[in-house]
Amino acid sequence: MNIIEKHFIDRSRKYGNLPYCCTMSPDGEYIAYLKANGNAETLVLKAINGSCNVVLASNTFILSPCFVSDTLCWSEKCGADWILRYTRIAAAGEQVQELSLPGRPMSLSACSADEGKRGWLVWEQRNGKKTRLYMASVINGNISAVREVDTGRWNAYDPVCATDTNNQLHIAYCAFKNGNYRIMIQPVDLDGSIDVNKAMRVSNESGPCVYPSLSRRSQGGVWFSFTCLDVPGNLEFVYPYVQHLRRASQLACFRSRGLTRVGLFENGRVAAPLAPPSPQVRQGNIAAMRVFGSEGSARSHVFEDHQGVVRLLLRQHVDEDKSCVFPDNPPLTKPKVAPTPTGAHRYPDICIMTLEKKGWSESESIIPRAHFPSPIAFCLREDHLRICFTQDGRASGHRTSGEWFDNQGELAVGIIDVKLEPLDSFDYVCKDVVMTPIDGPSIEEPVIVRERTGKQITVWGQTHCHTIISVCNRELEHDAHFNYRFIQDVQHADFAAMTDHEYNTGPVEETFMKKLADYYYFRNQFVSLPGYEWTGSYCNHDGGPFGHLNVLWFGDDATAFKIHNPADLDDPGNTPERLWQCYKHDPVLTIPHHVVDALHWYNWSFWSEGCFTPVVEIFQDNRGSGESPRAPGVANFMHIDNAKWIVNALKEGKHFGFIAGADHFGLALAGVKVDKLTRQALFDALRRRECFATTGCTLEMTFEGNGQPMGSIVNSKEIEFTFKADSPELIQELHVLRNGEIYKTIAVQEKHCSYNWKTTRCNNKEFWYCRILLTNGEIAWSSPIWLEKENEV
């Protein structure tokens, strides 16, 4: 591989409008990209030669810009709606048209047919927690013949398309089918008609399969690639408390490295090119579609060059530290703070691999630190490959080494021209892949039928979930789209917040977080919350360290949400009390988590009674329970000496409810009682502490004292408690706790549990709560009910 030319189209640093998320026209002459300022985006169209520079949309949110033939398409937030908009390049800025369908468009992708005279556009259309795929023909800048691609029986994502040598269209996509993520290919007839029941599964793995690509094969059919999350990652910090098989398979979604697969699809045949593995790998894998050497990969794009040689572009986390090497003139400005040194913690590189006679070549990095894992856009002219890219020159570490503190490092979009090394032309031996007759194991949570009881419903969700924005271990993280999908598809949850560390959040990341929270928010169907993790450990100023708070915004206007950093001495919200002062007029909660972690313990001397801290995470996926030292759910994780556990804080007179959070592992959930599914209703329910925590199971729970719900303060000496739970799996036993000590244990061994008891208040401010254990190891906790005497001094 020989780099002929590399230059930047646009570049900026922290206080400018930062460019990112670029795509390129099929002829390689135009580039479109976004510019972000923290609250909104601009869509820019530029000619590579500089003759065209047009702003197509501004002061809004934009997703998935995509070229189809001579037309640029994108999804844009227009008022309260998201609309597919498009314009012909020749009329850019003058004639912008719209296509309106039920739902919100995203994941646009395209290909050309009839020697470029016609294009095909495919995309994903979201409506609440459901998606459908659509395709359309694009001729002379006009979109027509819109058709549905899938049956609608399952959610489908990330469609891509390609034509074969007969101009027959093929569409590949990821489907959450039979409880796991599978790759499907849908053939389309030459006249554009489609039988949605003819989609074929082409992935044959037990792990989740995501991010497909397609390209034409010169000898017929299409090449396809995808990523399977099935290479165990670094488990050094994984201490899962719940260990049943379904949870282990769910955990693998977040703690496995990707490995790319490449295959052939032709007339319903699924085959794999013969790729002899390295000597360390058993020969039985030669026809299993695996790309040996692609460990740590995310999105990929397979293609065939002018010689018929199969090549693979892929986003891959590589160990070699090229993060500060920028071979261009002039180079990106380097940050004063050194970037994170290890590949697992950096954004992935764009790399290239070649399928040679001896097998797959070693992966070679083209663009180090290529920012977000979006689809790779490129064009091929004989032996010249042109790729458009985003490259990140900013610092990307923890605390004061993060992007927040880097005012010099740049983010840029550009193009690179690569001359492909000639190889002897040869025909690949493709062997049929024996597809299993079933889809493989399900990772889906079992569900129970939810019925309204009076005016309330129970909803479940995540208040603490990281994405690839957080530096902690980017190789094992996903983008927010994957997290939202997993939360909805696998967990059947109803709300979620992506809470990345504030020190890794610059204007681009802040815009992206707000944009996706807006896109996925459907009132009364699914609530997405803007948020971040306020990381106050190691902050020793003004009475610190403080611990960590998940800061969640419940207002409709996400652009009013401001992020604060406890490590920034110039930030007005750099202590909990100052943070609360900054948010005193805002619909914000600041939720403590992993309160007894040895390194990141919570400083309980900072407390906002009844306002910003109405709930606390009692359980987190890897750190386990913070309830009390010997309670069920306590993991083998390092706890601070003389730790102040949650029961200790309750005994001190603090009032807060219980929720659970996933952090980097995606599983633990909060259950909340709401009258409707909106941001405001969730805010109100959490403020009144009417919520409970689970290690990941979606069960129903009700706990009342004298008819008042969990989270209540009951002013009565005599009290009657009622507890009920319905679970999709067997409940082993119920624990009733008084002031953190077990008052009663009830054996259950059923999916339903109920228990009533009467008692007399023994002392003021005593608190009661319930804990249930399932036979599979899952746990759930109700929020407490307090018994207090009115006007007691």
pLDDT at 325: 47
Angle at 535 between CA 531 and CA 536, to 5 degrees: 135
Return the DSSP state at 729. Answer: E
Rounded Cα distance between 259 and 232, Å, is: 10
Rounded Cα distance between 120 and 186, Å, is: 14
Q: Helix (H) and strand (E) counts for the chain?
A: 6, 48
Assign 273 to helix, strand or coil: strand
Greater model confidence, 381 or 550: 550
Q: Describe the crossing of helices 507-519 and 480-489 by its angle, rounded to 10 degrees.
A: 30
Q: Dihedral, CA atoms, 228, 232, 237, 238, nearest 10 degrees?
A: 80
| Tokens matching residue 509 | 């990341």
Q: What is the mean pLDDT of residues 473-485?
A: 93
**Residue 39 pLDDT > 70:** yes
Greater model confidence, 214 or 318: 214
Rounded Cα distance between 89 and 736, Å, is: 67
Please state the pTM of the whole predicted model: 0.95
Rounded Cα distance between 773 and 748, Å, is: 10
Rounded Cα distance between 590 and 603, Å, is: 13
Find the helix or strand (DSSP H, E) in which 377 lies: strand 377-381
pLDDT at 748: 97
Angle at 535 between CA 530 and CA 538, to 5 degrees: 175
Max Cα distance, the chain (Å): 90
**From the CA atom positions of the chain, what is the Rg in Å?**
27
| Tokens matching residue 691 | 């919520």
Rounded Cα distance between 500 and 663, Å, is: 9
pLDDT at 550: 98
Select from 383, 203, 389 the least CA-distant residue to 304: 383
pLDDT at 793: 37
Query: How far is CA 260 from each of CA 17, 194, 294, 308, 320, rounded to the nearest angstrom?
Result: 34, 29, 6, 20, 20
pLDDT at 741: 97
73 and 63 Cβ atoms separated by less than 8 Å: no
Greater model confidence, 78 or 284: 78
Q: What is the mean pLDDT of residues 740-749?
A: 97
Query: How far is CA 87 from each of CA 45, 54, 547, 636, rounded to the nearest angstrom?
Result: 11, 12, 50, 57
What is the side-by-side strand order in the sheet with 269-273?
209-216, 222-232, 256-266, 269-273, 430-432
Q: What is the mean pLDDT of residues 632-642?
A: 89
Assign 349 to helix, strand or coil: strand
pLDDT digits (tens, 9 = 90+) for 651-703: 999 999 999 999 998 899 999 999 999 999 999 999 999 999 999 999 999 99
% of the chain exceeding 70 in pLDDT: 94
pLDDT digits (tens, 9 = 90+) for 373-401: 899 999 998 889 999 999 999 988 999 99
**Residue 15 pLDDT > 90:** no
Greater model confidence, 324 or 727: 727
**Residue 344 pLDDT > 60:** yes
Please state, rounded to an integer, the average pLDDT across all residues of the chain. 91
Rounded Cα distance between 689 and 614, Å, is: 6
Rounded Cα distance between 708 and 706, Å, is: 6
pLDDT at 328: 53
Spatial neighbors of 659 by CB under 8 A, at least 6 apart, are: 463, 591, 615, 616, 617, 618, 670, 671, 672, 686, 691, 692, 693
Select from 580, 569, 572 the least CA-distant residue to 610: 580
**Residue 410 pLDDT > 50:** yes
